[in-house]
Amino acid sequence: MAEDAHTGVALITVDDAGENSIVVISGANWELTKEDVVAAETAVHTADMLVLQLESLLEVVEFAAEMATRHGVPVLLNPAPARPLPDSLLVNTTYLIPNESEAALLADCAVADIAGVDTAVARLRQLGVANIIVTMGSRGAYLHSDDASEMVPAFRVQPVDTTAAGDAFVAGLAVAVGEKRPLPDAVRFGTAVGAFFLRPKP
């Protein structure tokens, strides 16, 4: 527990099309240490998957990914907020789920269309990432792995607020992979979960 740090805060604005912009103030998230990860090693060792993002110190995220890989636990990384990542983290990432701007940053190339996504994916695969799913908003998600390469279309909904849709996609995909579904089916399930969070709420 970080007694001297405030809770992390995300300030979110939403435009008329339902698209959001988020300012993250990490707060206590930055207090997470390698020692905290070591203290959770039993939980990591017995997990079906370790899901990570980048709102904690990068060195701690990298340490956790290495620990999970050492125990044979797959690592799912949502590289947000976007930043350059060391190859040592990418090589320990089983499932990388960037959006288009994050993929462009990680692969150092333009990602404006499917051709750009293909280029980014090829570069990331060269760095050792086994499975890459690029989320592309209303167009869906582009999956590339050893066994599949396909565009999974988005479900058609009228978005009111896109906040949490990406997180919901990641969670849905992680659950489906944990249930041993084929990866294309897991991506479709994640897409459905993300779409649910775009719908008007009662």
Q: Which residues are catalytic?
A: 167
Strands (E), the chain: 9-14, 20-25, 50-52, 75-77, 95-96, 131-135, 141-144, 149-152
| Contact residues for 179 (Cβ-Cβ < 8 A; gap 6+) | none
- 């930043």: which residue's tokens? 83
Rounded to whole angstroms, the Cα distance separating 75 from 90 reads: 10
Rounded to whole angstroms, the Cα distance separating 153 from 178 reads: 22
Q: Report residue 15 as tokens.
A: 């435009």
Q: Is the CA virtual torsion 92, 177, 78, 10 positive or negative?
A: negative
